[in-house]
Amino acid sequence: MYNNRLYIIENITSLHVGSGDTNFGIIDNQIQRDAITDYPTIHSSSLKGALREYCNHKHNPNDGENFMAYIFGDEKNAGKIRFIDAHLLSVPMRSDTNPYYHCISPKSIEQLLEFSDNFNITLEHKEALERLSNYRGEDIVVKEGTPTIEDIKAKTNNSLDLSVLEPLIGSPIALVPNKQFEELLKDLPVIARNQLENGESKNLFYEEVLPRKSKLFTIISEPTYLYHEDKKPLGNAFKRFNDYLIDDKDTIHIGANASIGYGVCTFKEL
């Protein structure tokens, strides 16, 4: 048995978590993508490594000498906390009526519902979310008006309650059909970087990024069967770890390129 916590990750800046792949085209460094949906993702190993680095600077001596080993493991034992891949919820897309819409697909909502069920996490407005996940129309749906989003005209649909998504991803919201969403995700921003050799610029290379204001979700879990002799020193370690993640005074860096400001994120627990 596990205690499971669901988090929303928001990109404060553009995010590049490299996959190590190229497409033999303009992009030299591609981002990680889910093997099934091809949506951008953050693999659990990358997420765990980033959070280990963050907590290594964040935790204090009152946590106890075994705190970091309990959460992340050490050279002798694996960590007790389970980290799950972060999956895409929404991406910002340009509009003629707002700077951007938080765009989400039925598939993204379906994945959130599926993971919540599998990890026994209760979501508010579940029935309304299920109706959104079952949307199979061909139009981009918004709450009001008829904005143009990425050159595609959107429409309103009064039978769908988009407001239930606002606690998850903010507003304004656009529900984008799966096929169109997949096409839009193929054209993520690409940023040119200088390749340096001994401090001299030799060439440009190009990195794919997930834009700021994108939202992902992840689940982090703690087993419930560990509290015996370690109960006193480590009984609230997961709570303290959670408090570090959701500290609204701090941001967390994920991925490469910290020195140029990529990958600055915040965590919010649902």
> What are the pLDDT digits (tens) for 132-191?
999 999 999 999 999 999 999 999 998 999 999 999 999 999 999 999 999 999 888 877
Whether 60 is covered by a domain: the verdict is no
Q: Is the pLDDT of residue 30 over 70?
A: yes
Whether 122 is covered by a domain: the verdict is yes
**55 versus 204: which is more confidently predicted?**
55
Q: Is the pLDDT of residue 236 over 70?
A: yes
Which tokens go with 132?
A: 């959104």
In the block, residue with structure tokens 């916590």: 5
Residues 36, 93: Cα–Cα separation, whole Å: 23
Query: How confident is the model at residue 190, as a pLDDT?
Result: 79
Question: How many structural domains does the chain have?
Answer: 1
Contact between 102 and 90 under an 8 Å Cβ cutoff? The reply is: yes
Whether 231 is covered by a domain: the verdict is no
Q: Which domain holds residue 143?
A: 92-181
**257 versus 109: which is more confidently predicted?**
109
Query: How confident is the model at residue 115, as a pLDDT?
Result: 96
Give the mean model confidence (pLDDT) for residues 191-218: 78
Give the mean model confidence (pLDDT) for residues 2-30: 78
Q: Is 122 left (phi over 0), alpha (psi -120 to 50) or beta?
A: beta
Whether 86 is covered by a domain: the verdict is no
Predicted model pTM: 0.90
Whether 127 is covered by a domain: the verdict is yes
